[in-house]
Chains A and B, each alone.
Chain A
Amino acid sequence: MAKAVSPKDFKGYRNDKLTFVQQDKTLHDTKFETKPVSYLRGCWRRFRRNKGSIVAGIILLFVLSFAIFAPLGSDRTVSWNDANFSFVTPKSPLFEGTGFWDGTQEKKIYQNEYDQYRFYETETKPVVKVIETGMDKATEQDPDTGKMISVDVPYYKIRLDTYAIGAKISSASVSDIEKIQAWETKTGRKILLPIISTEAYLDEYFDAMIAAGKTTASIAFTQRKNLENKYGDSNIYYKLVLEEDAYGKLTRNPVIDFDAEGNVKDLYKRDGEGKLVYYDHTDADGVNFRIRVDYNNYYEFKYGAKCHYLFGSNANGFDIFVRLASGARLSLLLGVGVSLINLFIGLIYGSISGYYGGTVDLVMERITDILSAIPFVIVATLFQLHFAASAGPVLSLLFAFVLTGWIGTAATTRMQFYRFKDQEYVLASRTLGAKDLRLIFVDILPNALGTLITSSVLMIPGVIFSESSLSYLNIIDLSNSDITSVGTLLNEGSNFLSTNPHIIMFPAIFISILMITFNLIGNGLRDAFNPSLRGEE
């Protein structure tokens, strides 16, 4: 037996100094000094503690503002394009000249291409920097022995400015040309370049070659076509000749005809007095003139600023940044819209089915059984085939999502009703005279709130994924409308995956970020609403 402890056992304490705490007092329940925490407030507090969800939420805010504000900040629209700037790489004016995000690209080229780049007349030169030069091995026929021998071919590894597209042929009226000239004198920079005339030179060249026995008239025809094709590039304003093979015959390879000092021999059109011609008539009516322009400067003249595409451009010179923002808007609108509509339908359907039970439930369950057994791709396809022409592809897709999407929500709601409808508090409420509607919406449904919100948020990434897959597969055809989808952008990019990966990169990164953030937020919500499920996936 342990010895009973009395105050006498403690040293330094005197019995008469001690008083009872509650002497002569009646004991009452005291009021809580802490503030009561409501259910939603508690959820918010738990959600806030989840770092992953908060980070995801902030990223999602960025994505949202990108989708909303990006199209506003740009004059370009989804259907705007400049075919001359096709396949340009991402460029931001802030990063000019850094080698990163400045519209340049590393490329390995050989002598011929290097020479062509060297002689651009335009202000913006294609070769920003030569990173490395060296020799590659190639085989060639030896002119003396006729055997194949190995020769060294110089190569250049360069940083290429994809925006330097050089000269382009365009047409302009007299007043346009006057405006251009005014711009030129104001800024001191050049837009108009001399017109080239190649006909006379080609005639002369092939006549001389045939006369010298280096080619025959019939072969010269195709060889001339080859050179003419080459002159289709308006950056070539100088004399080209065809390479000679080991036996002194002309091949089909055009090379630049250098003079003794290593300069090119220009083919500018000159008028009677020997002056350069900057514009000439192309059509019979004489209204429009043909001009040859430094296209980068011409663009600056037309739009008031240097051309840059933040996310690069695709094969037809469409702005990926603007199109991605439009796709993002579609994805988010569709995701949120579908999820809200499905929440609404599923809630009502599940409530009725779960609350009434019995035959009603049985019939309603069979209907959902049937609907849920139809693969979504079939529903989406049939809706597209039937309604895309009349209601538009996006609306048809929305219908397809709504047709089967609410089943999950309905099942959740129904389950909650089965769990709660036989509990005492519901019985009490019924006894007090509550009607069905009150029992459903006031007494039972709020219990399912957390689960329903969570599943609605988690539905959004699913919708976005399905939408982008379907538009990637071209089942949803958006080509005739003003909107675009991330899936369409992915489809455009997939054709140029190996040559121009930037086209597909941004949509792919974007959709991944979107899916990850929504899933993280959904998981955070689930943990917040239902702490007992934390950690279970």
Chain B
Amino acid sequence: MGKYVLKRLGLLVLTFLVIFTICFFLVRALPVPLISAPGSDGEEIARRFREELGYNDPLLIQYFRFIGRIFTATDGGNFGYSFQIQYLGIPWELMVSRLPPTVLINVYTMIVAVPIGLGLGIFMALRKNRPEDHILSVLIMLFISVPSFVYAFFVQYLFGTVWGVLPLTMDAVSRYNGNWFDPGMFRSMLPAIIAMSFGTIAGFARYTRAELTEVLTSDFMLLARTKGLTRTQATLRHAFRNSLVPIFPMILGEFIGILSGSVVIESIFAVNGVGGLFLESINRRDYDVFLFVGMFYVIIGLVGGLVVDLSYGWVDPRIRMGGKK
């Protein structure tokens, strides 16, 4: 097990390095946008500063210097500087400051969506092929297909405009003295949470139903009933726990994915989160921030995949990692 984990970690680092190298060269090869009007003092200062930081050197030299600076820089510019979003801002700090809204919205969504999704899935599996299962299946099919931004517009229009019960976009945290857990803050996050819940609930319900129906028809369920367990007991103790084997890693994966946030949802509800930062760095051509947030996404994806794979072995002891050699 330990050896397998080490091997996977090594592969992860290698994969990341290759991706980082490709992206670094592609990003640095882009023409650098001007920060101020050409010919102005600001432009001259920015140009000199870039020259000083070595943005005009050959790419290969820049590459090794960048890697060196990750470990040696003392002024905070370990991962380069932001020029457009915040002049000489540090990408790391920029991103950390944008994490709370992203994480909160996603955690709230998971808290709402996972129990409902699992519940619906169990209900459908138990009522398989009855009218209620058919109706729910069709609904879930529709809910999975409709893109999340359509829900977002729908929620915004219905709750924000027609009924006027919720704000159209998320409030800035400064309105609540920097308290992320203020009830008002939560209220302004609700539209985004509702919009994101639809798809997540439908996804979990469909997955749970599929897994549970498979388990419910297996032989050990027959045995459990034969030895005298009631249907509820057999379902809860045997079927549900077994069907959790693939479902749990899925939940875990979603939780890790939380950190990257949804760019579209954040854009629609004006959430000042990581997704928003990423979009801003693209639109304003702030390449160091773009590279940093992009690499953050890559790491999240890689680590998420690894954790999901490893969690299979933890959830279900029958699954051996790496095989016996």
Contacts and interface: CB of A to CB of B under 8 A. Distances in A.
Contact of B145 (A469, A490, A508, A519): A519
A472 to B, nearest CB: 6
A150 B160 CA distance: 29
B108 to A, nearest CB: 22
Interface in A110-137: none
A512 B148 CA distance: 10
A472 B290 CA distance: 19
B150 A512 contact: yes
Nearest to B268: A494
Contact of A382 (B23, B145, B267): B23
B210 interface: yes
Interface in B290-319: 290, 294, 297-298, 301-302, 305
Interface stretch (B11-19, B88-96, B99-107): B11-19
A4 interface: no
A516 B301 CA distance: 28
Interface string A360-398: 000000000110011101100110011000000000000
A374 B153 contact: no
A474 B168 CA distance: 21
Nearest to B26: A382
Given A370-B18, A373-B15, A469 B153 contact: no
A292 B266 CA distance: 47
A424 interface: no
A504 interface: yes
A473 B19 contact: no
Contact of B147 (A381, A501, A515): A515
A407 to B, nearest CB: 13
B282 A381 contact: yes
B156 A382 contact: no
Interface string B1-40: 0000000000100011011001100110110000000000
Contacts of B267: 472-473
Contact of A516 (B146, B149, B279): B146
Contacts of B11: 369
A490 B302 contact: no
Interface in A25-60: 52
Given A382-B27, A385-B30, A515 B157 contact: no
Contacts of B263: 377, 469, 473
A511 B146 CA distance: 8
A537 B26 contact: no
Interface residues on A, range: 35 or more
A390 to B, nearest CB: 13
Nearest to A512: B146
Main secondary structure of the interface of B (DSSP, over half): helix
B48 to A, nearest CB: 25
Given A375-B297, A381-B290, A519 B144 contact: yes
Nearest to A380: B282
A373 B19 contact: yes
B147 A512 contact: yes
Given A375-B298, A377-B263, A386-B30, A465 B279 contact: no
A475 to B, nearest CB: 6
Interface residues of B, number: 50
A271 interface: no
Contacts of B23: 374, 378, 382
B213 interface: yes
A469 B290 CA distance: 18
Contacts of B283: 474
Nearest to A504: B153
Contacts of A286: none
A497 B156 contact: yes
B179 interface: no
Interface string A463-492: 001001100111100000000000000100
Contacts of B268: 494
Interface string B143-178: 011110110011011001100000010000000000
Contact of A386 (B26, B161, B209): B26
Given A375-B301, A512-B146, A512-B150, A535 B213 contact: yes
B61 interface: no
A203 interface: no
A501 B157 contact: yes
A459 interface: no
A67 interface: no
Contact of B161 (A373, A375, A497, A523): A497
Chain A interface helix/strand/loop/mixed: helix
Contact of A472 (B206, B207, B209, B264): B264
B210 to A, nearest CB: 5
Contacts of A536: 210, 213-214
B142 interface: yes
A498 B160 contact: yes
B223 interface: no
Contacts of A520: 141, 145
Given A497-B157, A512-B147, A537-B210, A378 B297 contact: yes
Contacts of B18: 370
B149 A512 contact: no
Nearest to B156: A497
B308 to A, nearest CB: 14
Contact of A473 (B142, B264, B305): B264
B145 A494 contact: no
Contacts of A497: 153, 156-157, 160-161, 168
A350 interface: no
Contacts of B27: 382
Contacts of B149: 468-469, 472, 490
B15 A465 contact: no
B282 A475 contact: yes
Interface string B118-149: 00000000000000000000100110111101
Contacts of B145: 461, 512, 515-516, 518-520
Given A469-B264, A473-B267, A515-B145, 11 more contacts: A369-B11, A373-B16, A375-B297, A382-B23, A472-B264, A494-B153, A498-B160, A504-B153, A508-B150, A519-B141, A520-B141
Interface of A: 52, 369-370, 373-375, 377-378, 381-382, 385-386, 461, 465, 468-469, 472-475, 490, 493-494, 497-498, 501, 504, 508, 511-512, 515-516, 518-520, 523, 535-537
8 contacts: A373-B302, A377-B263, A378-B297, A385-B285, A386-B29, A473-B263, A473-B267, A497-B153
Interface of B: 11, 15-16, 18-19, 22-23, 26-27, 29-30, 138, 141-142, 144-147, 149-150, 153-154, 156-157, 160-161, 168, 206-207, 209-210, 213-214, 260, 263-264, 267-268, 278-279, 282-283, 285, 290, 294, 297-298, 301-302, 305
Closest 6 CB pairs of A and B: A498-B161, A516-B145, A515-B145, A519-B145, A512-B146, A537-B206
